[in-house]
Amino acid sequence: MSDILETMEAVKADYQIDSERIYSLGRSYGGTYALLLGERYPGIFASITAIMPPSDLVAFEKAADRVHSLYPLEWLKLNSPVELVESLRNTNVYVVHGEEDKTILPAESMRFVDKCRALGFTCKIDIMKGMDHVYPPVDPNPMIFEFFKDKVLEHKPKTVSIATGQLKYGSAYWLRITRLTSPLDIGKITASLKDDGT
């Protein structure tokens, strides 16, 4: 993720970039990290699309027939997009999943989207017929870029949420977590600005 952020800064130094229209897109584990970047650094991306992401790394590891991660399950929980979804409150999210994906089941993406919606967030999902984890019978990119087209970053949202298990990822817009009481739990906070600035 540091490489991505450094690359973004290098591109901004050489080109005129509209910082209100930066989007993140990733496929499979790239989708996981697209979501994590948005959760760890709210206020950078106007929108995120994740294609077939493992969003619950604990469930993904437990269900796998081979080891994907050498990290303990406690660490995977602290770094799973589904556990940190509150931080996406002000980010437009779009999930694309293949109906025939056997590597990461479509139900995992549905659980992620359902959690977003239960929190009142806008989150779009498309389950594509005939698509497995490798082969898309229809290129999803036109749908994705159509979704990105009108999305603009909100710089000072009135309500902000943070979910984190690591203080280094404890800031969003004007809100910050400065202390966590338990090292293996995820701290969560939501705050709203009143019209008078309090």
Could you write out the three-class secondary structure of the chain?
CHHHHHHHHHHHHHCCCCCCCCEEEEECHHHHHHHHHHHHCCCCCCEEEEECCCCCHHHHHHHCCCCCCCCCHHHHHHCCHHHCHHHHCCCEEEEEEECCCCCCCHHHHHHHHHHHHHCCCCEEEEEECCCCCCCCCCCCHHHHHHHHCCCCCCCCCCEEEEEECCHHHCEECCEECCCCCCCCCCEEEEEECCCCCC
Query: Whole-model pTM?
Result: 0.93
190 pLDDT exceeds 90? yes
49 pLDDT exceeds 80? yes
| Predicted confidence band of residue 67 (pLDDT cuts 50, 70, 90) | low
- Written as six digits, the tokens of 157 are 């949202």
Kindly report which listed range (29-38, 60-69, 169-178) carries the lowest average pLDDT score. Answer: 60-69
- Written as six digits, the tokens of 53 are 């992401």
